[in-house]
A and B are shown apart, each in its own frame.
Chain A
């Protein structure tokens, strides 16, 4: 997202803290700006404070300290029903005693919208999620995916500018989930609504979002676009939480021009990009993505760094081979190689030479 865009501060968390028991903070000093029309995902393990943040934005929890602004106005003291924020809940929370159409009419009724307009909006919302035929059904008569669509339609039917989604796809099977991820992002971009999406599934976060805020321990560990988050994690938590990651522990020997030399615990010395190290002698965790490691000597790039490795096992996964090797005394080093004609399967016990570019190897906090 371009920082200079207008409407950049549609939703703002300012120094927000939250405590339930007055002893521990669930959310610690949260600062976050969400732009209008942005799809922002709060990603993190359970207990990281992401859902609490969402509930504070929705108005179901009050911030212990700090200010939440919506479209420039502080909303701390506005009750949830006056915030005009659409919300999709974890288990959909469709009202079981109402039909699908009645569920959708509900937000329009409480807003005292005329009957003709109501019906038109309901039909449009149902059309949006391809559920036009299902208005007369009860939620219990629908499949999980269909209920999900209705919950989405209900959150959108009163045309809110901001929609919150609390792990909405958690209960769906993999295939349906992937399909719905695609539909939700499309719909959000088509309608131009701002979306705050909470999930603990990193794939979901990466595929759907404009930006992802990675939560841990009540703080945002990194807030960035998905590709940045994956390619350039700023700390070891993000690096390990997002995607698969090889880690090597060592000590910083020298730092120069954003690069550093690290002497690994096993004795080898490697070059790495200095991301989150500040001084010589500091312990560091070096992170390399499995797909950035090359084990075919002929394909090694210029300036690549090499290390000897022993193949422990090779798992055939169809499109890729996932090979586990012993590198620098650690036997959980993983390399992913494309299943291609020139890529042979590595036999267990074989000793090979691994290589990677120092730029792909990031020295992070230990």
Chain B
């Protein structure tokens, strides 16, 4: 310790700290180079997917991207109203739907919204088939009759350019139309303008102040349009399905219009986002809280079973002569060398009602033939099979911790007057707790995310939340919900880990040494 505040210098006058940093830089760079392939691998295959999953659980761009005009129009609609939204919304929705159908994205939107309100998927599918044959054809015929120029895409192109301000709907519809036609490989100048453009034009003309156009074409069209028979898009949609006249449907669309939504997370905990705020799901639809609870409960039961079964084995292993211990250790490790599927399937053979265990029990007359035990396709099956599969993960850390407890401790306790039991309970057991901790954390975290075994032996009542996640990933394709469930699971594990750290201390966890 120098008395002065000045930094310590090396012999040639550079500060010692800088000199040390330079000396260590090479080593640091080398260490980094050595780990960088793994780091890259982990980043790409682990960190990035997790980040993507976390993002997916709140991401909700599909509504906004598929029906942008509707989303915009619905902003002005008060969801508290008992009436359906006004014509502007239906007009916007009509435009959006026509293009969505062309892009075939309306069914995906229907599926997305169906998660929130059942029936919307079929409603969108049905509407998709019919939206091309609306009476807006009448507008097209009327405009074309008025001036054949309207049948020429070039007219539309020119107007969309020059009159974008006065014909906002037309301009925006034309831009999308152009994109759709080009994407389809068509030539916009050869294509006949679609009804939806005429409908947008009609709507723009009716909203613009009379005689407000410089362009004679438009002026004429405006004055003629006032005489057209108006086509009510609301009625057109209503004719497809009554549901379009149900404000609830529109409330659902409006609620889920945002790009980011807490909806998936709310669904994950049996809540739903409605126009009136967050509400419980209907009694019959609540499954996730139950599943989370069951997952935690069964993981706990499995962990405790593993401790009870694994502790004596580990104790034996740690206290036997090395040769015998090694043979026993092979038996413990044997399950690791067998495929997980084979092990789980053999449990099916053993546990089923006509299986080995029941047969033996019946043969020994412990169980009546008529009342064979139901050991599989329920929670019992999952607990038995998973305890067996996870047992080595309990035994190994326990063994390696017990191996480090000097036999002198128990001897000392006995020489001090403790009985065998007291010596074990007061001296040996407390020293083996770090092993129990490590084993429990390992088994519990593995159990909480286990998928294949509950899927095979769990039936309906023995499945875990992970099975539900898999279902949403591969069957219902509701990835957002799957991501939200996974995120909750991830954070549940992190919180448990943190709690464990606070209570027991993670440095008390020893995997050996």
Interface residues of A (CB under 8 A from B): 58-60, 79-87, 89-91, 93-97, 106-107, 110-111, 154-155, 158, 164
Contact = CB atoms under 8 A, between A and B. Distances in A.
27 contacts: A58-B415, A79-B414, A79-B420, A80-B411, A80-B415, A81-B416, A81-B418, A81-B420, A81-B423, A82-B417, A84-B417, A86-B416, A87-B416, A89-B411, A91-B406, A93-B406, A93-B408, A93-B411, A94-B412, A95-B413, A97-B431, A106-B416, A110-B416, A110-B417, A154-B416, A158-B417, A164-B415
B142 interface: no
A154 B427 CA distance: 15
A80 B426 CA distance: 17
B144 interface: no
A89 B408 contact: yes
A222 B100 CA distance: 106
B417 A96 contact: no
Contacts of B409: 93, 95
Interface in B396-433: 406, 408-409, 411-420, 422-423, 426-427, 430-431
Given A81-B417, A106-B418, A106-B426, A91 B411 contact: no
Contact of B414 (A81, A94, A164): A81
Contacts, number: 69
Interface of B: 406, 408-409, 411-420, 422-423, 426-427, 430-431
Given A81-B423, A93-B408, 13 more contacts: A59-B414, A80-B411, A81-B414, A81-B420, A86-B415, A86-B416, A91-B406, A91-B408, A93-B411, A94-B412, A110-B416, A111-B417, A154-B416
A87 B415 contact: yes
A58 B408 CA distance: 12
Contact of A93 (B412, B417, B418, B419): B412
A106 B413 contact: yes
Nearest to A97: B430
Nearest to B419: A81
B412 A87 contact: yes
Contacts of B430: 95, 97
Interface centre among B413, B414, B417, B423 (most CB of A within 10 A): B417
A167 to B, nearest CB: 12
Contacts of A91: 406, 408
A12 B422 CA distance: 30
A184 B422 CA distance: 29
A284 B419 CA distance: 53
Interface centre among A58, A85, A110, A158 (most CB of B within 10 A): A110
Contacts of B422: 110
Nearest to A60: B411
A104 to B, nearest CB: 10
A158 B416 CA distance: 8
Nearest 6 pairs of A and B residues by beta carbon: A107-B416, A93-B408, A93-B412, A87-B415, A80-B414, A97-B430
